[in-house]
Structure 1
Amino acid sequence: MTETKTRLEPGDTAPDFTLTDADGNAVSLSEVLASAGKSVVLYFYPAAMTPGCTTEACDFRDNLREFDAAGISVVGISPDSPAKLAEFRDTEGLTFPLLSDPEKTTMAAYGAFGEKNNYGKVVQGVIRSTLVIATDGTVEKAFYNVKATGHVDRIKRELELG
């Protein structure tokens, strides 16, 4: 996978994608936007069942009612296999879709894969990122290089939830 410098900004058109969910079903952004009639929080995370990613996923789970009430769906995307995503979902009681992007093409299109600093060393990897996609398919908010702890509260503040 090659590095990407792409960072989406508010007003940009969100790239459509079709990825496999934890149950092996194909899920596309355009279908989620059309079927739910809601905005979507897409959050990109490095690996299921790691401490930071578990903290972030459980934060979204614990605040899902507020996102739902505001007409916002939550979708997590990682390079994990659907089987690992299913285990993560079941272990943590996650009730929102988790999508598999093993080739990291969707992550790259969203600026969530590339060079990052990991313990003082520059490496290629998943950049923990969250984008809010409006119902018309445009980027409403974009957060890159976020911390797992406290990130959901920051999104809620930015979106004026609760």
Structure 2
Amino acid sequence: MTTRLEPGDTAPDFDLPTADGGNLGLASLKGRKVILYAYPSAMTPGCTTQACDFRDSLASLKSEGYEVVGISPDKPEKLAKFAERDALTFPLVSDTDKSVLTAYGAFGEKKNYGRIVQGVIRSTFVIDEAGKITLAQYNVRAKGHVAKLRRDLKLAD
């Protein structure tokens, strides 16, 4: 059984390669509120819907003090194509060995078309300025997720 994070837990640290050829670590975001969302695969319909939803909401999320970071097991090269194709202007990090996804409880058993499979569990984590989890959502829907997240965080529309 995959361990799931709860509010109050310390967010697992990471330092991962990004779509733009750099690296991004959680430590470098300390002092800022972070929305880390885990998605199964770049350039698939659901993941594109979700990424574009975050892209379209980025200015309002940033105005509320949130940084957005997407994480998937895709290689940086695929993430770069995804970011370019869909004009994604927030960092996408690559977790090819799935160790960070596993630490967040976002990789493990899930149902896919009625079958139990191992894979990325579409999840969103809100991390406060001190690196603590304030919200952990698992099995989120790709469509409409950002609007629901805004409601859950009590942010203005």
TM-score category (smaller protein): over 0.9
1:63 to 57, 61, 64: 57
Q: Distance in 1 between matches of 2:44 and 2:29?
A: 27
How far apart are residue 160 of structure 1 and its match? 1.5
1:73 partnered with 2:67: yes
1:25 to 17, 22, 36: 22
How far apart are residue 32 of structure 1 and its match? 1.8
Runs of 4+ in 1 over 4 A off after TM superposition: none
Give me the TM-score of the superposition, normalised by structure 2.
Answer: 0.97
User: Which residue does 1:147 correspond to in 2?
Assistant: 141
1:6 partnered with 2:3: yes
Q: Distance in 1 between matches of 2:78 and 2:2?
A: 29
Query: Percent identity between the aligned chains?
Result: 59
Q: Which amino acid aligns with 1:144?
A: Y
- Secondary structure at the residue paired with 2:79? helix
User: Which residue does 1:114 correspond to in 2?
Assistant: 108
How far apart are residue 66 of structure 1 and its match? 1.0
Q: Which amino acid aligns with 1:47?
A: S
1:137 to 128, 131, 134: 131
Q: Distance in 2 between matches of 1:68 and 1:109?
A: 26
User: Which residue does 2:12 correspond to in 1?
Assistant: 15
Q: Distance in 2 between matches of 1:29 and 1:111?
A: 17
- Secondary structure at the residue paired with 2:67? strand
| 1:19-45 deviation per Cα after TM superposition (whole angstroms, max 9, x unaligned) | 000022121001122xxx320000000
Query: Is contact 1:44–1:126 with CA below 8 Å preserved after alignment?
Result: yes
Q: Distance in 2 between matches of 1:23 and 1:156?
A: 28
- Secondary structure at the residue paired with 1:115? strand
The total of aligned residue pairs comes to: 156
Note the aligned Cα RMSD (angstroms).
Answer: 0.8
Give me the TM-score of the superposition, normalised by structure 1.
Answer: 0.94
